[in-house]
Amino acid sequence: MPPEAALTLGIILGTLATLTIQAFGRRKARIAVKAANRDAERSIALLDSENERRTGQIDRLQERIQVLERITTDPAERTAREIEALRLQPN
């Protein structure tokens, strides 16, 4: 085989090897990105559910605070009347 043909063949084989290695590298990078996206989506879903749970807790606590504020600011007679009315109600 003449040296020019060997050089051309070497360049072609080297180029093919480089392209193959790059293709596998890109594939591996795409897989890693997809895995990272799945992990991020799971984290977002968990944070959303935790946020909803805490929002519900905050709403309930705000309602309780409003009741306590109403109790502390109402005159004693009215509070006593309401308590007595609740006692007299049939279960």
Residue range 8-35, pLDDT digits in tens: 999 999 999 999 999 999 999 999 989 8
The verdict on pTM exceeding 0.75 is no
Residue 1 has pLDDT above 80, yes or no: no
More confident position, 60 or 77: 60
The domain locations on the chain are 3-88
| Tokens at 35, concatenated | 């895995």
Is residue 79 packed enough to be buried (19+ CB in 10 Å), middle (13-18) or exposed (0-12)? middle
CB 87 within 8 A of CB 79: no
Residue range 28-75, pLDDT digits in tens: 999 998 988 898 899 999 999 999 999 999 999 999 999 888 878 877
Alpha carbon distance 59, 73 (integer Å)? 21
The number of beta carbons lying within 10 Å of the beta carbon of residue 64 is: 10
**The pLDDT of residue 90:** 77
